[in-house]
A and B are shown apart, each in its own frame.
Chain A
Amino acid sequence: MALTREQIESIAALARLELTAEELPVYQDSLSRILEFVGALERADTASVTPMAHPLPGLSQRLRPDVVTEQDHHAEYQQNAPQVAAGLYLVPKVIE
């Protein structure tokens, strides 16, 4: 199925990706081709099939006891942050 330029712009906006004017037609073409390719799935009869939820049969997500296991590492972790001040991550103003 062919995607329109507007659809690509809307997907990019949902994915929070800035695309250049050169990138848009490239993704319009390749995403359309990928969707056509995965369209082959329509042919499979899955009427009575439960979607897979875990790659190992019979297993589901394990839970752990709700206890504190981690110490405070924020100073260490913030060494990788682009911008911090007084232990806080800085972002552009959100509320005027």
Chain B
Amino acid sequence: MSELHHMGLAELAAGLRARRFSSFELTETFLKRIEASQGALNAFISVTREAALAQAAAADRALAAGTGGALEGVPVAHKDLFCTKGVRTTCGSRMLDKFVSPYDATVVAKLKSAGAVMLGKTNMDEFAMGSSNETSYYGPVRNPWDPRLVPGGSSGGSAAAVAARLVPGATATDTGGSIRQPAALCGITGLKPTYGRVSRYGMVAFASSLDQGGVLTASAADAALMLREMAGFDPNDSTSVEREVPDYVAELDAPLAGLRVGLLQEFFDKGLEPGNEQRIRAALKVFESLGARLSEVSLPNLPLSVPVYYVVAPAECSSNLARFDGVRYGHRCEKPRDLTDLYRRTRGEGFGAEVKRRIMTGTYVLSAGYYDAYYLKAQRVRQLISADFTRAFTGVDVLMGPTTPTPAFPIGAKTSDPITMYLNDIYTIGANLAGLPAVSIPCGFVSELPVGLQIVGPHFSEARLLAAAHAFQRATDWHRRIPAGYA
């Protein structure tokens, strides 16, 4: 039997059901790995050791009785923006440093009822605003492939944890690339589902028309299992879609032959590093050898996706984060003179620099006299980008291209200029603006750092994306590579 932490989520679920090992043993194994790596990676904000072991013991009883869910006894971690009842939920912010959620997010509740054991809450950029995990109040997460480098963000803790095999699967969220970009920089599989596929109830809101919960796992097969258990209609989320969840696991082996793949011309631009491009082109050859038919596709409005995003996302952020008032929950300043002073100092102290920057950008673009020029204009261009995708999908089944322009970059390299940092998400933001599902899978290395290939599909095509990714992973072994020191 291979070592427990080398097994993926799906393999672990099967091993538990066959009673080859216990959930208690498995949970202890991963908890020890988390604790041993915390100083080096800082991937977790909270580790819920005792609750995890108690949950594991209960899972073992269920497994012994032949009952339990599809993930019975399998350890998972949650990004610290999913509310977890009775467990601190910080969103990476001083504002919520002491916040203990009174309820479970729907995603958390669903995974719990499927039998998953929560090991803890992962580090993240503050309020999910960042692409490098450097804006966290709890300090940066380090990339397990090289601790001098960022893991990507905002779901950097979840990505680093899965890459270092501290946990076989973790929840994450993606507003402009926050699942796919860290998946690429950490060499793992990350799926952002269609907008509305996974409930946003209990996810701390950043930009409500873009936010979507998803999964980070080693492989597409693991992602299929985890997503199947997480997805579905939720009356508590008014944008949740009433639509049946396919059995993503059963559809993994759908044949790839004849798949029409569009290569996104706009993604092979001058910003793409030559080493990354080579790995992407090599991966496309693999798809071709598996029977995919490649053609070039152009989405002319796509280059405007970053400017659209940096109007729409801050606008929604400034509205959503208005709830942090120092009155009902969260940080409160000392000795306020009056109510305005209470609001201003509470928010000035509780939010970090990037969050304040986005709140102010959003406030400006929504303010009287600027709303039409910025916000409405951006929502019009967003419509053009969405129409570009719709048109592209009349001729191809999926779109492929790089997830990021470069491999992981050094901690501190892009913190002085927000625009440089924002441009990191240049290839990922389009899918959020159009509400489309997209997956990033590892497809090789440049200077010993992982490179991610992105596959984008039409709305609700998660099964197709996962089957394509799975076919690639059956033909390659990039997704099995584990960083030195964590093997």
Contact surface of A with B, Cβ cutoff 8 Å: 3, 8, 11-20, 23, 26-27, 30-31, 33-35, 37-42, 44, 46, 49-57, 59, 61-64, 73, 76-77, 79-83, 89, 91-94
Contacts and interface: CB of A to CB of B under 8 A. Distances in A.
Contact of A52 (B99, B322, B361, B382): B382
Nearest to A43: B304
Tier of interface size on chain B = 35 or more
Contacts, number: 175
Contacts of A83: 332
Q: Which of A30, A61, A73 has the most CB of B within 10 A?
A: A30
B407 interface: no
A11 B338 CA distance: 20
A62 B306 CA distance: 29
Contacts of B338: 92-94
B312 to A, nearest CB: 9
B378 interface: yes
B4 interface: no
A12 B360 contact: yes
Contact of A91 (B307, B342, B386, B422): B342
B345 interface: yes
B327 interface: yes
B381 interface: yes
Interface string B374-399: 10111111111010001000000000
Given A11-B363, A27-B357, A56-B194, 18 more contacts: A12-B360, A14-B363, A15-B318, A16-B325, A16-B343, A31-B361, A34-B361, A34-B419, A44-B304, A46-B380, A52-B380, A56-B196, A61-B239, A62-B242, A80-B330, A82-B327, A92-B336, A92-B337
A55 to B, nearest CB: 3
A89 B328 CA distance: 7
Nearest to A19: B348
Given A38-B374, A52-B386, A92-B338, A33 B380 contact: no
Interface of B: 98-100, 102, 194-196, 209-210, 235, 238-239, 241-242, 301, 304, 306-308, 310-311, 318, 322, 325-332, 336-345, 347-349, 351, 353, 356-357, 359-361, 363-365, 367, 374, 376-384, 386, 390, 418-419, 422, 433-435, 459
B377 A46 contact: yes
A63 B343 CA distance: 32
A50 B382 CA distance: 10
Contacts of B377: 41-42, 44, 46
